[in-house]
Chains A and B, each alone.
Chain A
């Protein structure tokens, strides 16, 4: 099951696919769906990342349902319709938790999921299921090492410099108020809330991007 699912999703545009066992980590309402298929897509300019993620989730659901398993689709954070019944459950779940558990990456100093190959340049979506998928090896600690580029470049000084680990997942990495305040100010000045410097400077996976730009 693992191999088929992974190959299918990678073949359809996923950058990384991982499987996680989340037994004991989920809220009571969704605790029976304790396996996660974590799907990551590399963000590229002029590509409909959301569309790709949505399509990949549907593929995964179809494959799992055909085998008689249950599924619960957790859409990407930027695509959460508020008017559905099931949207009430989204707050119970965290894509980054699934992704670190599925061995896709760790949570970096900038509070974003960082993959060794793609850095913080992945968009995440998750499908929960009760299929007995074999779990990939989770990330236990941060791979940021001594690098503080994102903290040094953050215009709002929102990055605390603390380090994430699975045993201490609730440490404050980013002072969200400051980050949001900066983006709100950007919106007023430039009409866009864009910042993303902590993504741009991250050395993990940066090379790939440059090559693509040059190509």
Chain B
């Protein structure tokens, strides 16, 4: 059995490896976690992710800039790749599947990838369409995978307008689907105007919102089914 001390030490090691964007140490710590039989979920959430949360704060405080942020994300993935096969069913209350992509005409996918990482970490099933995704593809993929959530990203005002079409198409087919949008030109106002369910300022908020949305969606489904059963 792992001692509490060892556990705390490894969590700290994972956390600081992410903060110091040190992929090698992240891998090393992840392997140690497995070697001593520590819980992988614990290591991911209280080690890697809490490191990334710290990085998010540093980024907001303009202590870290884009390159550091990206390198930290790479370090997180380096650890995650090792730990993920050993993850037991996450108990977040909800789990869901999500279709994510950057809309047609837009090739900026750093933000989208970081949001995707948060979903990955949280154990969502992620269908990543990549960048410059033809608008029809989102609906196609949502129907194919029966996903609960669709996330759209755009970095330019010119491509942002494509989101409206995607949202309208999705709603027509499936009124219950939850849609989130994000990206530099996007704001709460835009989200309201386009009829999106959520707007995410950053990756951490995206995940929180997504969990809430899927929670409410599942609840609606359950209620509908309960009614039918009566």
Binding site for B on A (CB under 8 A): 29-30, 32-33, 58, 65, 70, 72, 84-86, 88-89
Mark each residue of chain B from 46 to 79: 1 if its CB lies under 8 Å from any CB of chain A, else 0. Answer: 0000000000000000000111101101100100
Residue from the list B20, B22, B67 in contact with A89, Cβ < 8 A: B67
Contact B74 A86 (CB under 8 A): yes
27 contacts between A and B (CB under 8 A): A29-B65, A29-B66, A29-B67, A30-B65, A30-B66, A30-B67, A33-B67, A65-B20, A65-B22, A70-B68, A72-B71, A84-B70, A84-B74, A84-B77, A85-B70, A85-B71, A85-B73, A85-B74, A85-B77, A85-B110, A85-B113, A85-B114, A86-B67, A86-B71, A88-B70, A88-B110, A89-B66
Contacts of B70 in A (CB 8 A): 84-86, 88-89
- Measured between C-beta atoms, what is the minimum distance from A116 to chain B in Å? 32
Contact A32 B74 (CB under 8 A): no
Nearest neighbor of B69 in chain A, beta-carbon distance: A85
> With A65-B20, A86-B71 given, can you name 20 additional A-B contacts, CB distance below 8 Å?
A29-B66, A29-B67, A30-B65, A30-B66, A65-B22, A70-B68, A72-B67, A84-B70, A84-B74, A85-B71, A85-B73, A85-B74, A85-B77, A85-B110, A85-B113, A86-B74, A88-B70, A88-B110, A89-B66, A89-B67
> How far, in whole Å, are A85 and B74 apart by their CA atoms in the complex?
6
Q: Which of A30, A85, A88 has the most CB of B within 10 A?
A: A85
Contacts of A32 in B (CB 8 A): 65
Nearest neighbor of A92 in chain B, beta-carbon distance: B67
> How far, in whole Å, are A32 and B67 apart by their CA atoms in the complex?
10
- Measured between C-beta atoms, what is the minimum distance from B75 to chain A in Å? 10
Interface residue count on the B side (C-beta < 8 Å): 15
Q: Which of B68, B73, B114 has the most CB of A within 10 A?
A: B68
Contacts of A89 in B (CB 8 A): 66-67, 70
- Measured between C-beta atoms, what is the minimum distance from A54 to chain B in Å? 11
A-B pair count, CB < 8 Å, reads 34
Contacts of A72 in B (CB 8 A): 67, 71
Contacts of A30 in B (CB 8 A): 65-67
- Measured between C-beta atoms, what is the minimum distance from A184 to chain B in Å? 26
Nearest neighbor of B22 in chain A, beta-carbon distance: A65
> How far, in whole Å, are A86 and B67 apart by their CA atoms in the complex?
7
10 closest A-B pairs (Cβ-Cβ)? A85-B70, A86-B70, A85-B73, A29-B66, A84-B74, A72-B67, A86-B71, A85-B74, A30-B67, A86-B74
Nearest neighbor of A72 in chain B, beta-carbon distance: B67
Contacts of A70 in B (CB 8 A): 68
- Measured between C-beta atoms, what is the minimum distance from A34 to chain B in Å? 12
> How far, in whole Å, are A148 and B210 apart by their CA atoms in the complex?
63
Contacts of A33 in B (CB 8 A): 67
> How far, in whole Å, are A89 and B24 apart by their CA atoms in the complex?
20
- Measured between C-beta atoms, what is the minimum distance from B121 to chain A in Å? 14
Mark each residue of chain B from 2 to 28: 1 if its CB lies under 8 Å from any CB of chain A, else 0. Answer: 000000000000000000101010000
> How far, in whole Å, are A29 and B24 apart by their CA atoms in the complex?
24
> How far, in whole Å, are A176 and B76 apart by their CA atoms in the complex?
38
- Measured between C-beta atoms, what is the minimum distance from B132 to chain A in Å? 14
Nearest neighbor of A89 in chain B, beta-carbon distance: B67
> How far, in whole Å, are A129 and B105 apart by their CA atoms in the complex?
34
Nearest neighbor of B113 in chain A, beta-carbon distance: A85
Nearest neighbor of B108 in chain A, beta-carbon distance: A88
> How far, in whole Å, are A7 and B63 apart by their CA atoms in the complex?
31
Contacts of A86 in B (CB 8 A): 67, 70-71, 74
Contacts of B65 in A (CB 8 A): 29-30, 32
> How far, in whole Å, are A85 and B70 apart by their CA atoms in the complex?
5
Nearest neighbor of B117 in chain A, beta-carbon distance: A85
Contacts of B68 in A (CB 8 A): 70
Contacts of B66 in A (CB 8 A): 29-30, 89
- Measured between C-beta atoms, what is the minimum distance from A81 to chain B in Å? 10
- Measured between C-beta atoms, what is the minimum distance from B192 to chain A in Å? 31
> How far, in whole Å, are A30 and B20 apart by their CA atoms in the complex?
17
Contacts of A88 in B (CB 8 A): 70, 110
